[in-house]
């Protein structure tokens, strides 16, 4: 009997979900037609279609053209695929992603899930991991997919035709909070001419002006007196950070007394530029940087860091994938960094 306290399509979806998981609807079982179910539940066919579409998105049902709707194989399985690109394990500068993989698998285990690991190659046409993944999704070995930095073939398949819940594992950092923490720390240390380095894959997006306004508003709210802030946007590679910092140090606008780097890749280049210019780090020019936990950035002084913990990303991704399996809404919140004082901003030991 359907109640009126919750949407009818959700009650119909739960009806079939219970029967799938308690075994009353076995893998491969064919459901009645939409018209038959509409008559059984005394609702219109569109309501039934909405319920079946929800269960299909969750990977519990599969709809075969001209044949009907069937219970997918392996829907009671407890394995989730974790797909990582091979470079995340081969490159020393990506140690953060090794930690991220470890934390994801720990969170899955704590939630009662097993995991299957797939290492994808950059050459999509030769990627055996993709073909294995497709097969294991099709036969019900895995219930959902978590992907990070794999190739375009896998990403396209996940976003277009993958029949089970999936997460592309976006590393969403709260850049506004990152900017505010960096500026407030520097202002409190007496720095009054601050250059901000940030990366943006789309250098023509117009976000630089927006971030500039945000930075000026943060300085005004801080109430520390007059201060200048300059926002420089580039791509995230080390060489770009080096070039951007050299331009700042030798430009006609004057030498900044502090640099806030919102991207650890740019920070490496900034440190080399400071050393190359013979400027004293921490006294003449302060430096504060975003940094991922577990990744060491070479610096001859303990670096003042805005540290991001991979455990927070992992918790968000596993929460998202479990919501997808359960068919419940999930809103991902950007991860916030934690300030770890060092000596690169002139702090006293």
- The pLDDT of residue 58: 74
Give the helix ranges, DSSP H, for the chain.
8-21, 34-41, 45-57, 87-90, 95-110, 128-138, 152-160, 175-188, 207-222, 238-250, 264-277, 310-326
- The pLDDT confidence band at residue 220, using thresholds 50, 70 and 90, is very high
User: Are 8-71 and 175-308 the same fold in CATH?
Assistant: no
Asked if the 8-71 domain carries CATH number 1.10.260.40, the reply is: no
Write the CA distances from 220 to 168, 198, 202, 210, 269, integer angstroms. 38, 21, 28, 16, 29
Residue 230 has pLDDT above 90, yes or no: yes
Residue ranges per structural domain of the chain: 8-71, 79-169, 175-308
| Domain 79-169 is found in CATH 1.10.287 | no
Architecture of the domain made up of 175-308: 3-Layer(aba) Sandwich (3.40)
Residue 203: pLDDT over 70 = no
Among 146-150, 206-210, 281-285, 302-306, name the one with the lowest average pLDDT.
206-210
DSSP secondary structure letter of residue 39: H
Rounded to the nearest 5°, which phi and psi values hold at 246? -60, -40
**Higher local confidence (pLDDT), 12 or 236:** 12
Write out pLDDT tens, residues 297-349: 889 899 999 999 999 999 999 999 999 888 888 888 888 999 999 999 999 87
For residue 242, give both structure tokens: 């080096």
Out of 22-26, 86-90, 140-144, 306-310, pick the least confident.
Answer: 86-90
Do 77 and 143 touch, CB atoms closer than 8 A? yes
Work out the average pLDDT over 132-156.
85
- pLDDT per position as a tens digit, 236-268: 788 899 999 999 998 888 999 999 999 988 999
As to burial, measured by CB atoms within 10 angstroms (0-12 exposed, 13-18 middle, 19+ buried), residue 347 is middle
The tokens describing 285, both together, are 């020019």
Rounded to the nearest 5°, which phi and psi values hold at 42? 60, 50
Name which of 326, 317, 325 is nearest 147 in CA terms.
317
Neighbour-count burial of 280, counting CB atoms closer than 10 A to its CB (0-12 exposed, 13-18 middle, 19+ buried)? exposed
More confident residue, 183 or 91: 183
Closest CA to 271 of 242, 306, 307: 242
At residue 55, the pLDDT reads 85
- Tokens standing for residue 261: 């780097």
> Residue 283: is its pLDDT beyond 60?
yes
pLDDT bucket at 3, cuts 50 / 70 / 90? low
By mean pLDDT, which of 93-102, 190-199, 233-242, 320-329 is the weakest?
A: 93-102
Query: How is residue 187 written in tokens?
Result: 């202002």
Indicate the average pLDDT of the chain: 87
Check the CA dihedral 154-158-164-169 and report its sign.
Answer: positive
pTM: 0.74
The answer, yes or no, to whether residue 197 has pLDDT greater than 90, is yes
Q: What pLDDT does residue 169 have? A: 79
């Amino acid at each position: 009997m359907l109640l009126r306290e919750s949407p009818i399509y959700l009650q119909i979806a739960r009806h079939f979900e219970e029967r799938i998981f308690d075994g009353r609807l076995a893998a491969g079982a064919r459901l009645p037609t939409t018209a038959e179910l509409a008559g059984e539940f005394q609702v219109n066919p569109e309501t039934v279609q909405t319920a079946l579409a929800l269960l299909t998105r969750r990977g519990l049902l599969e709809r075969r053209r001209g044949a009907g709707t069937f219970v997918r194989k392996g829907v009671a399985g407890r394995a989730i695929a974790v797909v990582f690109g091979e470079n995340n394990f081969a490159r020393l500068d990506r140690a953060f992603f090794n930690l991220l993989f470890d934390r994801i698998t720990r969170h899955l285990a704590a939630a009662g899930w097993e995991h299957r690991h797939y290492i994808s190659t950059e050459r999509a046409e030769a990627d055996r991991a993709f073909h294995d993944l497709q097969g294991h999704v099709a036969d019900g070995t895995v219930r959902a997919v978590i992907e990070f930095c794999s190739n375009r073939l896998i990403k396209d398949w996940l976003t277009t035709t993958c029949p089970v819940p999936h997460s592309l594992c976006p590393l969403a950092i709260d850049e506004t909070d990152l900017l505010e923490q960096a500026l407030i720390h520097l202002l409190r240390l007496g720095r009054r001419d601050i250059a901000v380095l940030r990366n943006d894959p789309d250098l023509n997006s117009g976000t630089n002006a927006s971030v500039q306004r945000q930075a000026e508003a943060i300085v005004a709210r801080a109430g520390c007196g007059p201060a200048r802030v300059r926002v420089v946007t580039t791509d995230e590679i080390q060489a770009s950070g080096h070039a951007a910092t050299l331009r700042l140090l030798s430009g006609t606008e004057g030498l900044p007394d502090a640099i806030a780097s919102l991207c650890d890749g740019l920070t490496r280049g900034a440190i080399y530029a400071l050393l190359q210019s013979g400027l004293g780090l921490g006294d003449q020019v302060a430096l504060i940087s975003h940094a991922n936990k577990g990744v060491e950035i070479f610096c001859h002084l303990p670096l003042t860091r805005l540290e991001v913990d991979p455990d927070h990303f992992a918790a968000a991704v596993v929460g998202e994938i479990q919501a997808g399996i359960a068919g419940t809404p999930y809103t991902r919140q950007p991860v916030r960094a934690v300030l770890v004082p060092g000596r690169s901003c002139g702090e006293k030991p």
